Amino acid sequence: MRFLRFLGHAGLILLLYQAFPARAESLRLLALGDSLSSGYGLQKGQGFAPRLEEALRARGRDVRVINGGVAGDTTAGGLARLDWALAESPHAVLVELGANDMLRGLSPEGAERNLDAILGRLKDRGIPVLLIGMKASANFGADYAKRFDSLYPRLAKTHNVSLYPFFLEGVALNPKLNQDDGLHPNALGVEEIVRRILPFAERLLSQAKAKRP
């Protein structure tokens, strides 16, 4: 009799399992970047990663945005720590690097090689990418700006990835949206960046979701 009751309980559990399958884990979105995306100078929860996650969740996206930003990082630094940054097995990646290469006057060709290697590794792993561009400061001259600014659209075309042309679009040079250093977005600036980049991030997540088994 106890055995029959056990079978009854087991059958009930099986029916419940079939009716309510295990909930799929949240999509993981890695923001691989520098101080612009790391939340430099901001209070906890005000940075790009947490604000983007909140905006995506408000749009019904079940996602966790991983803050992979390191202040001062160049494209070479991002490449060097890529395997470490991928330890949480993200389903999609935002690549926001290059600002520090530009501010230090490093070779645009070197930055392009580093980003090319990053995008190549991500492609090999089958991870959808949104490449986020940067614009060169005018004080480096027209030739440098042309060489630097052109590398992002060229890489996006080469690797067939989506491109958001300028991370600081609508924020750069606006004192109301930047911290006192004039380089890093303040909390209001982050909100503007998130607002603008949100449609691109949503399309990226749709790509990632479509690739899941």
pLDDT for residue 24: 64
* Whole-angstrom distance, CA of residue 77 vs CA of residue 32: 11
Region 38-55: mean pLDDT is 98
SS3 62: coil
pTM for the structure as a whole = 0.88
Q: Which residue type occupies 99?
A: A
Decide if pLDDT at 1 tops 60: no
For residue 50, the Cα-to-chain-centroid distance in whole angstroms is: 11
How far is the C-alpha of 203 from the C-alpha of 213, rounded, in Å? Answer: 18
The rounded distance, in Å, linking the Cα atoms of 187 and 171 is 11
Span 115-135, average pLDDT:
98
Report the alpha-carbon angle 171-173-178, nearest 5. Answer: 60
Overall average pLDDT of the 103-129 stretch: 98
Euclidean distance between the first and the last CA atom of the chain, given in angstroms as a whole number: 42
Domains of the chain: 26-211 (3.40.50.1110)
User: What confidence score (pLDDT) does residue 84 get?
Assistant: 96
Q: Which of 12-26, 105-119, 148-162 is predicted with the least confidence, judged by mean pLDDT?
A: 12-26
pLDDT score at 14: 42
Q: What is the per-residue pLDDT for 213?
A: 73
- Measured CA to CA, the distance from residue 164 to residue 201 in angstroms comes to 10
**Nearest C-alpha neighbor of 171 from the set 194, 192, 187, 200:** 192
Q: What is the pLDDT of residue 25?
A: 85
For the beta carbon of residue 49, count every other beta carbon within 10 angstroms.
24
Q: What is the pLDDT of residues 134-180, one digit of tens each?
A: 999 999 999 999 999 999 999 999 999 999 999 999 999 999 999 99
Point out the residues that are catalytic.
Answer: 35, 181, 184
Specify which residues 178 forms β-bridges with. 185
Cα–Cα distances in angstroms (integers) from residue 124 to residues 121, 128, 129, 159, in the given order: 5, 10, 12, 11
Q: Does the pLDDT at position 16 exceed 70?
A: no
Each residue's pLDDT tens digit, 52-111: 999 999 999 999 999 999 999 999 999 999 999 999 999 999 999 999 999 999 999 999
Rg of the Cα atoms in the chain: 21
Mean pLDDT of the 20-27 span: 64
How much of the chain is helix, strand and coil, in % rounded to 5?
55, 15, 30
- pLDDT reported for residue 6: 42
Predicted pLDDT at 8: 52
